[in-house]
Structure 1
């Protein structure tokens, strides 16, 4: 979701508090529900959430790619597409019906399952469940035209994901498992296997595997248990029972190590390391996943300051019954292979040593408990986790996850590490570049005509959906006697997120000391003795971290932990932000942490951000001059804190699963003091206005050398200042652009990789549109992109696509009612801009009420040729079409 107010965000995160060894109290909050099994074999789990506005439905069908033959690889994924493309009894396709009855919907396929998800309002839950039920009724009405179109879409997805590397990736999977293993082929198939699929193949698969007995459904969010069960009984329960084809059994994988060579993977020269893991649902499965996380973190640590920017990727393969994970490091020369193997081997050795250390494992347990609880906040993530409960295992319940982590000990991790990280079980692949290049196109994919694009979500239906969302306020704002503004947003989350936002940033420091604000934060430490020291110890014991971030205008302290630890989170944060003390002997180390954070941000900056910065006329950022510790006078740091770190210049945001009455008392005890400078009266300093930068609209052509076959295209505009506080409209604009980019991909018949992103840069918010286009198709690709943008500048063009964009934008604005982090982000933004607590609900309604005329006028303004910067990256002799980017 696009969010205004970032303003050239320079994010600095440092750990002010480590993790202790005390055992965590169990988090008792979170949605709890009821499990049912119907006579037709379908399993259901309902987990209501009284704090939610929307309802999430997740249906999982045991019909993953393990059940398809290697010669028919991609059949499961293609069948998922045809399930949406089938014609229903009322003449609509399931895709069109979901577009009208749900706010968001999707389908995915992996090695074990096909998943259907939808987000709607409680009043429309029966209709959405009825549509899900239709996917299990055995029907398969698909016209030849729809079949061809969906096969083209699947082929395009293969090209977009694999970028010309389908064959070598298929060899990798076969090399890990063997070609005959159920996991030994690509989940989405190859162009050859998908092109050979027929209607009969897909319909037989749908009828034999998309059955009630193979399905599990989770309903969670803003609906009562009684209403959800009633809706399920009138829809899912009434699907006739049908026999299911037996699920293909996955044999165990010995995980014998070895060495092989792969030629043609993207990235260049390098090494790939394969770890074979225990089954995901087994006793050791979660511990093995933790080992993978530790190895990944250790590799990234070892590569952090490595010159040459080696590329590191991690990816799971296989499925739940025999999962594996691949770590790959690549570089530009053959020497990268030896380096990559050395780094990967060192990471494995270090992790095997660390997991035997009690001082490492006990803090890890705390962090893992927080991670487990976090999975139950977002509607979609919660539903995906709870579907395992509906499957009868109950492994997905939060209490089960936390109990499993009670067994996380050095001995347990060491035992699993001896299996997973043993040298004789680790596979290796030497990587070498091949001739295959990304975006080579697919000759079998036919271009789609304009009238082939389905129009879903009638405006009246979309407006009715949003009108049914309750309008109750879920947050309260009040002020303590010392001037601190407090915003409380209770929910059913098992987590609590606490933010202390102070109205002081880089602009409040002298220009010669732009890092004064973060230094004033980084040097703060809790007192070593007394109640504040004890408060910090309790925060550490809960596994929480205390982070800080800053930008031009504000500085923010934040922490996050289990809801049962709310009091300790508040007191621990106050121990630093309010009662913290300075130890100037640590000044050099603190400055190094700040500078390292800024340097890391710059190293990670994408090429598109670098290009975008060069197209702006003003771009005042922190420069790279060396800041010596002696430049930061102790008195200046103290003075900055005394002037700005005061209750009257601060807002405390608390979001998550707490009791409001109790939280008020905890807030007052932690932050309600009048000690100086915290409780002293504060005056806001005057700040000069900062106009947004302008863009240079001339077309720029950049030749990076190398004679690549792809041309990079980048267009961007600066968001008008009045729109930056209108996040709903801005999100709607971005959604319309994203839909237009996707439309270009489908109309061209191949996935060229167009994308839309939002960036905070140079005290401005920017929307960037870009993509990589084959040089041979550049003229056509640019022409299609120009036409797509031209349509969005007209009321008629916007009217055709507006309703389909309104639904997902409104859903994203409202779907995070139980996500403490998202709520805290929003409320911090609202507090910083003086906006009302119900701002986002109003934004959602304004999104639905937006008119085509108003949006087209806005798009015509921001997409005007003189407001856009335009860049083409590729060989000069192949970028002539870039000149037409200036044409409206």
Structure 2
């Protein structure tokens, strides 16, 4: 049987079709053309988009410059990326700092990226610091370029290091791929980051010339959105952006679309495994055909994800869009375990594309896909950074709202047009078929050119005083409300400006509420409810919900079952009535008992198969976790299923969360009508029970495991520990632990001057929370990396070491705790956590401030305990002759 008491997530989504109308009040069902932002065009050519969103506390500033890699000559590949680094992290401001230094103090987070078409720079801050941040962005466009030889060399080495980290020795193969799918003289026919050879030839004069020619006001647009008023933005921009002097701008290099060039070729070194790639040319993004193609690309990406969960013997599927917006290419990859499976990998890719074509050819299915796409369009606009990017893509001087524009374009797509585009786009005679061979084991991904970075004279971190000032300027108001219906149901409403609404009904029944011999009871009950009898009231409500493009999904935890649905704010009533119809008024049908048990079993199996390697390693490293055995279907009898539902599915033990852009009056009316009904067992009182005994959290199996890996050129490292259970209610401390570990591993990479991919993730497994450091290290530098990691861990075990690193960690942690107040899913996730841990509604805002008051000695003590050999697991996969230093990692 399945011992699944502590399995934290089970997702089973069921789709039902239909339509209908509710009699209670409904919100507006369409999005009008009222502008979501105001465009200001300055005489110097710069365009400013002002898009306030006072539902959140943070401000997003985003600047886009049309200075991407398409404008660099092939022999100067990497110039655009290097120029971005120079202007941000090498040029001195009047006070001697760089823009990077200043943003480290004035923003909670910042980043910059360069691709084939553009350079993007963004910063997340608060309204009081907006003038300073805009002034820093103005400096980037000022044309100044006085860089010392030392700083130029450092930033060029950083660019080389980033290139090696991303591609390593596969860079040559990646360059060959681009040269094979684009004509030789095409501006997208080279690796945008450059090569060591092209980067080594670049000079400070090259970078300064590029900055002066292309980083101009007339070539840039700036968006400000989030918790700031229109007048505040305009006032700050008038003092910083408007005074910039106009300068001539070099014209954008043309990137013409590329026709289909079908061919079959072999490419070695792009992957460490055998496989196949299919490459298709796409229409330009900013065209009617291009927007239609992007809908299909989204569908293909979902289909590949489904295939990855269902297929055995395939290491993985992936999708990548190559080139740039004017001549994009779609590349689909499938990798397999052994070379003799390569032919099958190509067949699997074509089968996946055939499934997409089949779905689009079915008019009903295509219509459902397009309805679901409406929700996806809105989802992209919830995050402040994604919303800012979309504003930058608006036609100059446009006054239309982004969401209204995007939905109108989507609604103009007919199922017939979608089916025709799928047939034309994915025709076999348009594809380049590339047979992937792994890298030569003698070469592999070994980093032959190690770049050591000189000391950074401008390295600074935000002082605690500045971090405290940032947080002090964040409003303390809490926008969520909690109330209780007469039958005992707790309701939490969390309004935001989101175009979506996330509805979650949390029922107090999970794996832990079933006998050990019947662990499937809770998920089977929930799954049966989501398969109501045809034409029943619950079935009708689910059909209406399905007609909006939304679905109802399940998450099963040890002590709760969560029904959740997410859709457009205009369909809030259908989301509420869909979930309420099955949970409050639905019945369990004996006809679905065996089917539901099989669905649950297959869902858990698929979820486990789809877990990334780091999660599988962590699961195996715990002393108590999920095991899959034969399922005893006969043990799941209807009386037990009915009894569990009758005992636990009661309003007094449940919580309803509604987060997003709902209409308050409409939502409350439907909540009262659906969830306030006197229906058994929903409206029965909750019997007082003895408090449940505390469950022991799993502990790690300590020690080091060295496993022979299949990649002789690299060592894959997994190192992790269980977060103490008492910290589950202390997000600030856990996030600080994670951020300090992330910063330490990043410092190790720079100290060595070698590129490898180490990261830190938070995993929830088997009723435990783990922090897991994982990634690949070049085998030739593994011993040095272990030595540096041990030194980094030693610093984190001392109050002095933590105190020195803490200010740089506090800002991103505070930003993470406060960010995305407009995102309905983030809001709902956070409220779910508060319900689970019985915490107040203002918890996350309080945690952001509490991150400043943390005692370094306390963090050092936590690191000392967590990184001790008896609480740490270490797993190294790699060549036996290289993994010896792995034994030293758990030591003090």
Is 1:753 aligned to 2:751, yes or no? Answer: no
Do structure 1's residue 811 and structure 2's residue 815 form an aligned pair?
Answer: yes
Structure 1 residue 273: Cα displacement? 0.5
What is the distance in 2 between the residues matched to 1:395 and 1:350?
A: 36
Find the residue that maps to 2:439 and give its secondary structure.
Answer: coil
Query: Which residue does the alignment assign to 2:790?
Result: 786
Q: How does 1:343-382 map to 2 (within 5 A)?
A: 343-382=348-387
Given the superposition, is the C-alpha separation of residues 343 and 612 from structure 1 closer, same or farther in structure 2, using an over 3 Å criterion?
closer
Of the structure 1 ranges 396-405 and 112-121, higher mean CA displacement relative to structure 2 is found in: 396-405
Say yes or no: does 1:572 pair with 2:586: no
Deviation at 1:157, TM superposition (A): 1.1
Q: Which residue of 1 aligns with 2:567?
A: 561
* Match 2:831 to one of 803, 811, 827: 827
Where do residues 476-625 of structure 1 align in structure 2 (5 Å cutoff)? 476-524=481-529, 525-526=531-532, 528-529=534-535, 532-616=538-622, 618-621=623-626, 623-625=627-629
* Aligned twin of 2:9: 11
1:771 aligns to what SS in structure 2?
A: strand
1:73 aligned residue: 77
Q: Which of 457, 462, 466 is the matching residue for 1:457?
A: 462
Which runs of 5 or more structure 1 residues have no equivalent in the other structure? Answer: 1-5
Cα distance between partner residues in 2 of 1:866 and 1:721: 17
Hey, what does 2:24 align to over in structure 1? Answer: none
Q: What secondary structure is seen at the aligned counterpart in 2 of 1:878?
A: coil
* Structure 1 equivalent of residue 262 of structure 2: 257
Give the Cα separation in 2 of the matches to 1:600 and 1:867. 30
Once structures 1 and 2 are overlaid, which stretch shifts more, 97-106 or 667-676? 667-676
Q: Tell me how far 1:396 sits from its aligned partner.
A: 7.7
- 1:788 is displaced (CA, Å) by 0.8
Three-state SS of the structure 1 residue aligned to 2:271 is coil
* C-alpha contact 2:181 2:261 (8 A) present in aligned 1: no
Alpha-carbon displacement from aligned partner over 1:78-120 (angstroms, at most 9, x marks no partner): 1111111111111101110010111110000111000000000
Aligned Cα root-mean-square deviation (Å): 2.2
Q: Is the 8 A contact 1:20 1:543 kept in 2?
A: no
Q: SS where residue 279 of structure 1 aligns? A: coil
Deviation, structure 1 residue 447: 4.7
1:806-885 mapped onto 2 (5 Å cutoff) = 806-885=810-889
On the 8 A contact 1:539/1:569 being kept in 2, the answer is yes
The Cα offsets for residues 700-755 of structure 1, whole Å up to 9 and x where unpaired, read as 32234x57132233221111111111011111110111011111111111222111
Task: Look up the match of 1:165.
Answer: 170
The one of 318, 325, 332 equivalent to 2:323 is 318
Cross-structure match for 2:446: 440
Structure 2 unaligned blocks of 5 or more: 22-27
The corresponding residue for 1:417 is: 422
* Offset from partner CA, 1:43-101 (integer Å, 9 cap, x none): 11111111010000110000001101111111111111111111111110111001011
Alignment-derived partner of residue 115 in structure 2: 110
Kindly provide the CA deviation profile for residues 474-504 of structure 1, in whole angstroms up to 9, marking residues without a partner as x: 1011111101011011111111100001111
Shift of 1:585: 1.5
**Match status 1:201 vs 2:206:** yes
Residues paired across the two proteins, number: 879
Q: Would you say the 8 A contact 1:65–1:112 is kept in 2?
A: yes
Task: Tell me what 1:152 maps to.
Answer: 157
CA distance in structure 2 between the aligned counterparts of 1:398 and 1:270, rounded to whole angstroms: 39
The answer for the alignment partner of 1:388 in structure 2 is 393
> 1:529: how far off?
4.2
Specify whether residues 18 and 204 from structure 1 end up closer, same or farther in structure 2 by C-alpha distance, changes over 3 A only.
Answer: farther
Return closer, same or farther for 1:345/1:880 CA change in 2, 3 Å cut-off: closer
Structure 1 position 20, deviation (Å): 4.9
Q: Name the structure 2 match of 1:3.
A: none
Separation in 2, partners of 1:274, 1:703: 34
- 628-637 vs 731-740, which moves further: 628-637
Distance 1:380 1:165 in 2: 31
Is the Cα–Cα contact under 8 Å of residues 267 and 311 in structure 1 kept in the other structure?
no
Confirm or deny: 8 A CA contact 2:489 2:651 kept in the other structure. yes
Q: What does residue 769 of structure 1 align with?
A: 773
Which of 225, 234, 244 is the aligned partner of 1:239? 244
Q: Does 1:690 align with 2:695?
A: yes
Q: Answer yes or no: is 1:717 the counterpart of 2:721.
A: yes
Q: Which of 312, 330, 337 is the matching residue for 1:332?
A: 337
Q: Deviations over 1:194-220 (max 9, x none)?
A: 222111111111111010001011111
In the alignment, the residues of structure 1 paired with residue 5 and residue 629 of structure 2 have an alpha-carbon distance, to the nearest angstrom, of: 22
More moved, 583-592 vs 730-739: 583-592
Asked if the contact 2:50/2:233 (under 8 Å) is kept, the reply is yes
SS in 2 for 1:285: helix
> 1:565 offset after TM fit, Å?
1.1
Contact 1:20–1:541 at 8 Å: present in 2 too? Answer: yes
Task: Return the alpha-carbon distance in structure 2 between the equivalents of residues 121 and 170 of structure 1.
Answer: 42
Pairwise CA distance, 1:31: 8.1
Distance in 2, matches of 1:29 and 1:676, equals: 46
Give SS of 1:284's match: helix
Q: Secondary structure at the match of 1:313?
A: strand
When structure 1 is superposed on structure 2, of 47-56 and 265-274 the one drifting more is 265-274
Sort the Cα spacing of 1:42 and 1:684 in 2 relative to 1 into closer, same or farther, 3 A.
farther
Distance 1:8 1:242 in 2: 63
Q: Secondary structure at the match of 2:264?
A: strand
TM-score, structure 1 normalization: 0.95
2-structure distance, mates of 1:845, 1:7: 36
Asked if the contact 2:799–2:860 (Cα under 8 Å) also holds between the matched residues in 1, the reply is: yes
- Is 1:104–1:808's contact at 8 Å kept on the other side of the alignment? yes
Structure 2: distance between partners of 1:74 and 1:141: 20
Structure 2 counterpart SS, 1:731: helix
Q: Structure 1 stretch 305-314 or stretch 481-490: which is displaced more?
A: 305-314
* Corresponding residue SS for 2:567: strand
Q: How far did 1:393 drift?
A: 5.9
Cα distance, 1:790–1:81 mapped onto 2, change above 3 Å: same
Match of 1:355, SS state, is helix
Q: Does the alignment pair 1:648 with 2:652?
A: yes
- Displacement of 1:28 in angstroms is 5.5
What corresponds to 2:40 in structure 1? 36
Please give the alpha-carbon distance, in whole angstroms, between the structure 2 residues aligned to 1:197 and 1:217: 29
Instruction: Evaluate the alpha carbon distance shift between residue 414 and residue 390 of structure 1 in structure 2; reply closer, same or farther with a 3 A threshold.
Output: closer
CA distance in 1, matches of 2:125, 2:140: 18
Please give the secondary structure, in 2, of the residue aligned with 1:126. helix
User: 2:18–2:540: 8 Å Cα contact kept in structure 1?
Assistant: no
What is residue 734 of structure 2 aligned with on the other side? Answer: 730
1:562-614, Cα deviation, whole Å (9 max, x unpaired): 11111111111101111112222122222221111111121122333333334
| 832-841 vs 356-365, which moves further | 356-365
Distance 1:96 1:396, change over 3 A: farther
With over 3 angstroms needed to count, the CA separation of the structure-2 counterparts of 1:683 and 1:31, relative to structure 1, is: farther
Query: Counterpart of 1:848 in 2: which secondary structure?
Result: coil
Q: Matched residues in 1 for 2:78 and 2:768: separation?
A: 44
The 1:672–1:21 alpha-carbon spacing in structure 2 relative to 1, beyond 3 Å, is: closer
2: CA distance, partners of 1:251 / 1:53:
43
Matches of 1:267 and 1:460 in 2, distance apart? 48
Question: Are the aligned partners of 1:58 and 1:219 in contact in 2 as well (CA < 8 Å)?
Answer: yes
Following superposition, the deviation at residue 822 of structure 1 comes to 0.5
Deviations 1:224-275 (A, max 9, x none): 1111111111111111111111110111211232222212111422221011
User: Shift in Å at residue 528 of structure 1?
Assistant: 4.2
Change (3 A) 1:302 1:497: closer
Q: Does 1:50 align with 2:50?
A: no
2:714 aligned with 1:701: no
CA 1:695/1:541 → structure 2, altered by over 3 Å: closer, same or farther?
A: closer
- How far residue 159 of structure 1 moved from its aligned partner, in angstroms, is 1.2
